[in-house]
Amino acid sequence: MSCTRWPSTLLFLFAIASCLGATSHAQQSPSGDDPADLYDAPVLEGPSGVSAQLQSSAEQRKAIFDPGLSRMLFNPFVEWKQQLQEDYGFSLGVNVYLLYQHSSGSLGDNDDAVGGIYRVQGSWELFDRGGKNPGLLEWRFENRSKTFNNSSPSALSKESGVAAVDSGFGYTNTFDTDLAILNWTQSFLDDAGGVAVGRLTFDAYLDAFPFQTFSRGFINRSFVVNPTLATTGVGALGVVAKSFVSNNIWIGAQIYDGNAVSGEFDWDTFQQHEWLKAVEIGWAPDFERYMVDQVQLSYWRKDARKEAGVSEGEGWLLSAAYKLGDSLHPFLRLGHSDGGAGVAAEDAASVGMEWELMPDQFWSFGLGWAKPSKKTHGAGLKDEYVFETSYKLQLSPGLSLTPDLQYIKDPAKNQKKSSVWVLGLRAIWRL
């Protein structure tokens, strides 16, 4: 990449950040309470679920800048949203994730990628509102796309020869605007369990994990979604059920349409009756800390997809995280599969930590390893290793900026490079 393109691209992202930085959504609610208290995420959802994201967006954050102009411009809308939730149980949120990346070892002509994830989402609490067992309708419109003439970050990862440890996981240009989520979520047992049925995003429930979200420090797949896990499209018809069976132990089961395609509202794939299924058991200190401190073991199996020519597969996943004091949050993930069902890796492991150095300023770092699947990528490929570190700056209550650095050793499909550096800059805006 030329010296002139590098600063111009950075200036472009900083210009966007400056504009988006004039938002302040986490003000006091009309009742004087924390606005996040208005949003109650069901216990079965991970941090990428609709209700969990609405709750996270409403949390008050200590920001570097809090421009008074943003309050004047956006507070009427924020207060209207909070009043709508209080009066009718209707919640609304907007999330934008912009990512720029530069790779030191692309096999193609383009070393740069810019992509975005755009979400408008909400929930409507229609049953037992304010009670112990609420039922709600959740929905999300979503689009993921590359920006300008650049590759998407996920495509850049493939161009760099990476097989399993995708350096831009989730930032793709193959996800058209879609009603990605439309489901009913019903809590029971005083909100210690729940059932979700409808059009679901599997990664909000399957191996749900504190760092399994684009809203925190990591981008690489090793730390976001286990490379040994078979996936299906975002917006798959399915059913999820989870419940605590004691003060500390929960169990769960889920099933999804195995042929769903992200970004396409298509019911026909459901008729092929080819499924992604999983069961899990987990431990937490109590269900209120389910997404902070946990140890979770999951087993999954995916049917063969006959029309797609993909074999069946199965595997297991182990995830563990436990927050130490107020600032350190270490984690460990392990996974094994038989290599079938189109998985990226046969075996994988990652370890890392998030460190809150100042209020709402986070340093993340992690190490990951993956053995690429022979059935998916072919035989004779080297194991891949990744180190990722990032620092999340909360510029304003609604905007964060996260510089990110990844070092990938032995990209399996890049014979010209023994290692690749991927430098990134991410802006996240929540309203």
- Per-residue pLDDT of 178-225, as tens digits, reads 999 999 999 998 888 999 999 999 999 999 999 999 999 999 999 999
Q: How confident is the model over 169-180, as pLDDT tens digits?
A: 999 988 889 999
Q: What angle do CA 100, 165, 276 make, to 5 degrees?
A: 110
Burial 202-218 (b: 16+ CB within 10 A, else e): bbbbbbbbbbbbbbbbb
The more confident residue out of 165 and 73 is 165
Q: Which residues contact 298 (CB under 8 A, 6 or more apart)?
A: 206, 207, 278, 279, 280, 316, 317, 318, 319
pLDDT reported for residue 33: 45
Distance separating alpha carbons of residues 50 and 42, to the nearest angstrom: 10
When mean pLDDT is compared across 36-50, 137-151, 182-196, the lowest value belongs to 36-50
- Name which residue leads in pLDDT, 306 or 11: 306
Q: Lowest mean pLDDT: which of 112-116, 287-291, 371-375, 402-406? A: 287-291
Average pLDDT score over residue span 8-18: 40
**Residue 423 near residue 404 (C-beta atoms within 8 A):** yes
Q: b/e string for 316-335 if b means 16 or more Cβ within 10 A?
A: bbbbbbbbeeeeebebebbb
SS3 158: helix
Per-residue HEC secondary structure of 172-194 comes to: CCCEEEEEEEEEEEEEECCCCEE
Mean pLDDT of 90-98: 94
Q: For the chain, percent helix, then strand, then coil, each to nearest 5?
A: 20, 45, 40
Q: 263: pLDDT confidence band, cut at 50, 70 and 90? A: confident
List the end-to-end C-alpha distance of the chain, in Å, as a whole number: 34
Q: In this predicted model, what pLDDT tens digit does every residue of 117-136 receive, in sequence order?
A: 999 999 999 998 888 899 99
Answer whether 118's CB lies under 8 Å from 142's CB. yes
pLDDT (tens digit per residue) in 326-358 = 999 999 999 999 999 999 999 999 999 999 998
pLDDT over 80 (residue 7): no
Query: Which residue bears the tokens 């490929």?
Result: 381
Stretch (H or E) spanning 84: helix 68-88
What is the C-alpha separation between 421 and 160, in angstroms, rounded?
10
Confidence at residue 71, expressed as pLDDT on a 0 to 100 scale: 66
Lowest mean pLDDT among 65-69, 208-212, 384-388: 65-69
Q: Both tokens of residue 20?
A: 């988006």
C-alpha span between 67 and 367 (Å, rounded): 37
Domains of the chain are: 5-430 (2.40.160.10)
What was the pLDDT predicted at 67? 65
Is the CA virtual torsion 331, 232, 274, 52 positive or negative? positive
Please check the confidence at residue 392 and state whether its pLDDT lies above 80. yes
- CA-CA distance, 32 to 43, in Å (whole number)? 26
Q: Over 50: is that where the pLDDT of 15 sits?
A: no
Strands 236-244 and 345-358: unpaired
Reported pTM: 0.87
Task: Tell whether the model's pLDDT for residue 26 goes beyond 50.
Answer: no
Mean pLDDT, residues 262-290: 86
- Residue 226 CA to residue 371 CA, distance in Å, equals 12
Q: Of 262-266, 334-338, 339-343, 416-420, where does mean pLDDT reach its minimum?
A: 262-266
* DSSP-assigned letters across all residues of 32-79: SS-GGGG----TT--TTSHHHHHHHHHS----S---HHHHHHHHHHHH
For residue 34, pLDDT over 50 is answered with no
